[in-house]
Amino acid sequence: MDSGKITKTVCRMCGACCIAQSISTIIPGTGRGKAAGERCVHLSPENTCLIYTRRPRVCREFTPTLELCGSSFDEALANLKWLEDATKSG
C-alpha cells in the first residue's frame, strides 16, 4: 500500500469495510459495536447497508480510496485488515 498517495474513488459496494473494520460505537438495533473481521449484521447478502440512513458516524465518514479499496473485494479486505491491525491500541 502506498501511504503517500490518496485517491478518492466511488464505492463499489463490495462490503469489505463492513467486515474488516471494528466499530466501537453502538450499531443501531444491536446494543453493541462489532469486532474486526465480523460481518456487520446490517450488511445484506448483496452487500448493501440495510440501515444506510441510520448507519453509525464511523460508517458515514469512511471514504473509499483506491489505495484502501484496491480493485477487488479480496484486495480491499486485505488492505482494511492491515489498516485495522496497524492502528490497533495495545
Note whether residue 36 is domain-resident.
yes
Domain residues for 70?
A: 17-86
Convert the pLDDT of each residue in 74-88 to its tens digit.
999 999 999 999 988
Please check the confidence at residue 90 and state whether its pLDDT lies above 80: no
Q: Partners of 65 in the beta sheet?
A: 8
Q: What is the pLDDT of residue 8?
A: 79
Position 44 in a domain: yes
Whether residue 11 is contained in a domain is answered as no
pLDDT tens by residue, 31-65: 999 999 999 999 999 999 999 998 999 999 999 99
Residue 8 is assigned to a structural domain of this protein = no
pTM given for the model = 0.82
Instruction: Tell me, yes or no, whether 66 lies in a domain.
Output: yes
How many domains in the chain?
Answer: 1
CA-nearest of 3, 11, 15 to 63 is 11
Residue 3 lies in a domain: no
- Give residue 89's pLDDT band: very low, low, confident or very high (50, 70, 90): confident
Q: Do residues 29 and 51 lie in contact, with contact meaning Cβ atoms separated by under 8 Å?
A: yes
Query: Does 27 reside within a domain?
Result: yes
User: CA torsion angle for 50, 83, 33, 11 (degrees, to 10)?
Assistant: -10
Q: Is residue 1 part of a domain?
A: no
